[in-house]
Structure 1
Amino acid sequence: MMKKLLYILFLGIGFASYSQECPDLLSPVDGATNVPVDATITWEAIPGIPGYQIRLGTTPGGGELGVTSVGSATSYTPPQGLPDNTQIYVTIILDFLFQGGSDIVCESQSFTTEDVTTPPACTSIRTPQDGAVDVSVFTNISWNYAPTATGYRVTVGTTPGGNDVVNDFDVGNVLTYNPPGEFDPNTTFYVRIVPYNENGAAPNCQESTFITGDVAPLPGCTSLITPVNGAINVPLTPFLEWVPVPGATGYRVTIGTTPTNANILDSAVFTTNSTFVIDFEPNLTFFVRIVPFNDSGEAIGCGQESFSTLLGCGPFLDLTTGEFVSFNPEVVFPPVFSFCENDDPLVLTAPIIADGYRWYSVDPFDNVSLISENRELTVDQVGDYQLEVYDIISQPGGVIECGTTVDFEVVSSEIATLERLDISEMALGLRIEVVASGNGDYEYAIDDVNGPYQDSNVFNGVQPGNHTLYVRDKNGCGVVEESFEQDLTVEGFPKFFTPNGDNINDFWQFIQPEGQNIVLTSIRIFDRYGKLLTEIRQDSQGWDGTFNGRQLPADDYWYLAIDDSNREVRGHFSLKR
């Protein structure tokens, strides 16, 4: 869960306070132990943060193990690894400088690395590559990180196994070696890099070779002219220009959104000292390295520069209010709409005034098709749709479109068809079940067309009398109603009978209530398990308590009566002996 810190920003003679979320470590998590020394550190992404710095140390807030800007990346792999058996403190810094604010230093989190008990493995040389020819005499030697290594020894000679140039030199925990002078021209050199740690050195590491070329001066490094290093609010299609370098025949340009990747340009070659870059993303920091080269090789040790693009649509921090704001319109739109069958088409209107609108239909495979760019949309088909509402925002260098998209569904509906009312006798009154059909989403009310309505189609505890039931389509397609009088009431059905042959209550039968004329088309009698025992007519003598000529035991039995309007009433009675 993200942590919140309270910060005070001084703005002129006033100040504003706000709480800022800080990210939790995802891997290794805070408090983790036995973490590999070559672990990659990852953390949560915070919306609206243009960039991060990561500080590593052995004390809270310490940075003796390195402080690195990683741009918008949310992971970092220490290039020389981490010390073993050590509590490492990680401090994430939220970079607000390019928005005109101050960096926010989050509370440190920590983990403990593994105890390494074996020597490291050998490494491989990155530059010059093994077998390379025409290598510049000014070249440096670099190699890849060997996991668990805490240092490296370098040996260079002009014969296999030789050490006449560099003899087992301990360079420490770095990944490059810069010889004190240039290498001899047109010479074969043999290089061995041996990683080591407290448990010993890597065994049997192999040599690599390279051959130098003729002596010729290397070009120097260059620097950005526009945008300058550290620039903010750079247009999304900037013109890049850098200082021309005498003696350079070209430039290798690398651009990425983190210091270690090249996802925009990867060593692209330019023969001039400028270029346009099309369509940078807004609200990001970009890292640029420009390396001049000529026939003798590339410039050595050229640094990395950076700049940040426009704020874009956001979210970004408003330093006046201390709140994150966005240029995207806020759209509140219902997720479901319906139109009534055999009625007019459905007309939808975007809920806010904006610079533009786009309506899309979405097929079952999530493919979208633009169907309208007006504020209103007429719909006559069910399905999935999207509404995009956007504003045009002017910023230095041009305009951008900031939009919000919402999904919604269109369904069809219709007024209900009321099939029947199922009425049952219960201890506290009548149970009325409303049976309705139709292609709609229905709700139910009793005795008042204005409700209250309920989702359940069952009403319990209804007192005998005259009632009206209402069924309303939730999507506005209409209300149907059904009234019934106090016809099938509990007074007409005896509570018990005693078929013992004394000619008193020997039969169970419906008794017509005084002053009423109820016509029953069927009276069915069941046992407690729902087995049909008999069906009697209203004009018959009634049931005598037998089944297939056999007397049934004293127990509770159930009845289902249906009148000439197809209305039902259910109840139970007792057979006593």
Structure 2
Amino acid sequence: MLKKLLLIISLLGFAQSYGQSCPLLTSPQNGDINVAVDATITWGDVTGVTGYIISIGTTNGGTDIINQRNVGSSTSFTPPVGLPENTQIYVTISLFFLNQPNIACPSESFQTEDVTTPPDCTVISNIVDGEVDVSVFTNILWNYASRATDYDIIIGTAPGLGDIANTNVTSLNFNPPGELPASTLIYVQVIPANGNGTAPNCPEISFTTGALATLPGCTSLISPSNGAINVPLTPLIEWQEVPGATGYRVTIGTGPSETNILDNTSFSTTSTFVIDFEPNRTFFITIVPYNSAGEAIGCSQESFSTLLGCGPYFDPVTGELVTLNPDLTFESVFAFCENEGALELTAPPGAEGYRWYSINNLGTETLLVEGDAITISQNGAYRLETYNTVSQSGNTLECPTLFDFEVVSSEIATINNLRIIDTALGLQIIVEASGNGDYEYAIDDINGPYQDSNTFNAVTPGTHTLYVRDKNGCGIAEETFMQDLTVEGFPKFFTPNGDSTNDFWQFVQPVSGDRIVLNSIRIYDRYGKFIKEITQDSQGWDGNYNGQPLPTGGYWFKAIDDTQREIQGFFTLKR
């Protein structure tokens, strides 16, 4: 099934819906002030967009700082040489699609800080201090120094001499005039500067050049060509052979500065396969030939985009956002009743294919069956994979939608006991139930309302039926709370003072109703300390503990009848 959501009817329609379709700056935000000159610019992601192009300038829509820089699918960009201080900066994000013209979003702006301190020192990035056999054609490269606007570079054959070069540049690299002297110890110092002065005490490094040789030239892509789209997901990357080159260093990433596919990997041939590129992505590739003299200088970066894949992507013909994955819904929890056999599940219709997996505790999946139905007899974690297929550039691609779900078993509850406690507001009934299920409780009506709590408060004396329902539909257990087991028959007080009236506390059989048979009557003080257990046919409790009279106060009892039903209540000892 194709999931199609109207995105735009035309470019004009898209332009009219900027508020929903164009990303907004997230850091710095539109209108921010005192923004650091070395800030990283970030923005929100837009569904269905292949990549982003950023321009930065000092006027609305301007490009005088950064001109149309493609950043791939990344939603952040750090200006390589920072931003000018105390300046209104305008950022324009353009949306890059594979099969339609780029769409420029409205510019947003912020004000940079007023820098009042000199910059920090930098680090030379392409040469290590003490390195030997450095090519005489080597350029000097360094990292951006925070708050720097320009750099003093001193190159010489002695510390601080500057006999090779002593100049100021605004870039992050310097190409010495001519080649460096061969087999010579060279000293280099790069000093960042701004309007407040130069960075103090910046280190000087030295290296030794190699013998004079000829550097190779740069190469270019043959396949896929620079700017190609709909490239297969496992392409053969092939480039032009360069005379005099003994090898090639290849870097591929999902952004201009990324190396997450290949990181400066060396090849002795002019081609390589790369396995399983992501679909619907732009990839950036730099190939640098090298030989014993060093690496080629100034080789440019090229790019290509993979086939559209499953989407979502923009279809310029229909003006819609297309997703090829099945658009389905599926429950996350299923239960089966242990007394009713296994669970039979059927996948929702609308996909070309289905696979069912079990998932173990380590998250590893095991294929159980292919097809739209499955029978499950064990609890656990499972996964349903639904998929459609699509043919693109000679390849068949599966577009899946995954549903993780849990299977639990359940059963009708067993009511083990009804605990009845006499309170000032009426009876409190606590239903004690057991079983392999998720239960809810109701009183006097099998249709509810049901509650998660197993306790019912302020129940009037009388006959009541308690219901325990399995939430997974495996049945309802019930137990009737009979009139015969209430606080009736248990005295509210007694006075053990030897006057032969109410000297003992004991259960008195009610006149009406069936005979009550009690297996035990246990007495506790108000702190829950056990005092005495009496039987139904005994004289009762005399108010003493270990032969000593207990003081006036409140005590409570718990009685259990011959059906294991329980009642609790309170009484008073008076002296």
- Indicate the larger mover: 25-34 or 435-444: 25-34
Say whether the 8 Å CA contact 1:61–1:108 is kept in structure 2: no
1:19 shift after superposition: 0.9
The corresponding residue for 1:525 is: 523
- Superposition map of 1:419-498 within 5 A: 419-498=416-495
1:408 to partner: Cα distance: 2.6
Q: Partner of 2:20 in structure 1?
A: 19
The answer (yes or no) to whether the contact 1:9–1:319 under 8 Å persists in 2 is: no
Q: Does 1:65 align with 2:61?
A: no
Q: Which of 140, 143, 147 is equivalent to 1:142? A: 140
- The structure with the largest strand share of the pair is 1
Q: Which is worse superposed, 87-96 or 392-401?
A: 87-96
1:287 shift after superposition: 1.6
Deviations 1:151-201 (A, max 9, x none): 34556679998877x55243333413274xx55997969574543414247
Q: Is 1:195 equivalent to 2:191 in the alignment?
A: yes
Equivalent residues of 2:338, 2:410 under 8 A apart? yes
Looking at structure 1, the residues matched to 319 and 547 of structure 2 have their Cα atoms a distance apart, in angstroms, of 89
- Superposed displacement of residue 436, structure 1: 1.6
Q: 1:306 aligns with which of 303, 307, 310?
A: 303
**Corresponding residue for 1:411?**
408
Q: Give the distance between the partners of 2:303 and 2:9, measured in 1 at CA.
A: 27
- 1:152-551 aligned at under 5 Å gives the runs 152-153=151-152, 167-177=165-175, 179=177, 183=179, 192=188, 194-198=190-194, 199-200=197-198, 205-206=204-205, 208-210=207-209, 213=212, 219=217, 227-238=224-235, 254-265=251-262, 266=264, 269=267, 277-290=274-287, 300-316=297-313, 326-341=323-338, 343-499=340-496, 505-521=502-518, 522-548=520-546, 550-551=548-549
Deviation at 1:558, TM superposition (A): 1.9
- Judged with a 3 Å threshold, the aligned counterparts in structure 2 of structure 1 residues 546 and 78 are, in CA distance, closer, same or farther, namely same
- Report matched runs for 1:19-38 at 5 Å: 19-20=20-21, 22=23, 25=26, 35=36
Aligned to 1:4: none
Contact preservation (8 Å) 1:161, 1:190: no
Residue 285 of structure 1 deviates from its aligned partner by: 0.9
CA distance in 1, matches of 2:162, 2:514: 122
Return the TM-score normalized by structure 2.
0.79
Counterpart in the other structure of 1:3: none
* RMSD between superposed Cα atoms in Å: 4.5
Q: Find the partner of 1:557 among 517, 535, 555.
A: 555
Which digits, 9 at most, give the CA deviation of each residue in 1:234-289, with x for residues without a partner? Answer: 333446566788998987654322112344344654766x7765432112111233
Cα distance in 2 for residues equivalent to 1:110 and 1:321: 41
1:204 Cα offset (Å): 7.1
> Given that residues 120 and 146 in structure 1 are in contact (C-alpha distance below 8 angstroms), is that contact kept between their aligned partners in structure 2?
no
Cα gap change, 1:30 to 1:328, in 2 (>3 Å): farther
SS of residue matched to 1:19: helix
Residue of structure 1 equivalent to 2:572: 574
Residues 485/387 of structure 1: CA separation in 2 closer, same or farther (3 Å cut) = same
Q: How many residues align?
A: 559
CA distance in 2: counterparts of 1:524 and 1:191, whole angstroms: 97
Residues 510 and 174 (structure 1), Cα distance of their counterparts in 2 relative to 1, 3 Å cut: closer
Q: Which moved more, 1:447-456 or 1:150-159?
A: 150-159
SS of the counterpart of 1:145? Answer: coil
Task: Provide closer, same or farther for how the CA distance between residues 430 and 24 of structure 1 changes in structure 2, counting only shifts above 3 A.
Answer: farther
Unmatched tracts of structure 2, length 5 or more? 1-6
Flag the 1:163–1:445 CA change in 2: closer, same or farther, 3 A.
Answer: closer
1:34 touches 1:115 (CA, 8 Å); kept in 2? no
**CA distance 1:38–1:175, change in 2 (3 Å):** farther
User: Which one-letter code corresponds to 1:448 in the other structure?
Assistant: D
Counterpart amino acid of 1:375? D
Q: In 2, distance between residues paired with 1:377 and 1:462?
A: 47
Shift in CA distance, 209/546, structure 1 to aligned 2, threshold 3 Å: closer
TM-score of the superposition, structure 1-length normalised? 0.79
State the AA in 2 paired with 1:141. Answer: N
Distance 2:394 2:111 in 1: 43
SS in 1 for 2:117: coil
User: Does the CA-based 8 Å contact 2:122-2:142 persist in structure 1?
Assistant: no
Q: Over residues 322-356 of structure 1, what are the superposed CA-to-partner deviations in whole Å (9 max), with x where a residue is unaligned?
A: 98653333453333333444652223332344222
1:58-111 CA distances to partner (integer Å, 9 max, x unpaired)? Answer: 67765543243221234444433455x656847372533335251435634566
CA distance in 2, matches of 1:432, 1:91: 69
- The 3 A distance-change label for structure 1 pair 549 and 285 is same
Structure 1: runs of 5 or more not aligned: 1-7
Q: Is the 1:546–1:552 contact (alpha carbons within 8 Å) kept by the matching residues of 2?
A: yes
Cα distance in 2 between the residues matched to 1:213 and 1:370? 63
Alpha-carbon distance between aligned partners in 1 of 2:529 and 2:247, rounded to the nearest angstrom: 96
Alpha-carbon distance in 2 for matches of 1:42, 1:12: 25
Give the AA of the match of 2:366: S
Contact 1:560–1:571 at 8 Å: present in 2 too? Answer: yes
Tell me the distance in 1 between the aligned counterparts of 2:103 and 2:220: 26
Structure with greater contact order relative to length (CA < 8 Å, sep ≥ 6): 2
CA distance in 2, matches of 1:34, 1:23: 17
Most deviating of 230-239 and 559-568: 230-239
Specify the alignment match of 1:98 in structure 2: 98
Aligned partner of residue 98 in structure 2, secondary structure:
helix
Between the aligned partners of 1:533 and 1:410, the Cα distance in structure 2 is 49
How much does 1:487 deviate?
0.7
Q: How much does 1:42 deviate?
A: 5.8
CA distance in 1 between counterparts of 2:120 and 2:532 reads: 93
Distance 1:382 1:44 in 2: 41
Identity between Structure 1 and Structure 2 (%):
51
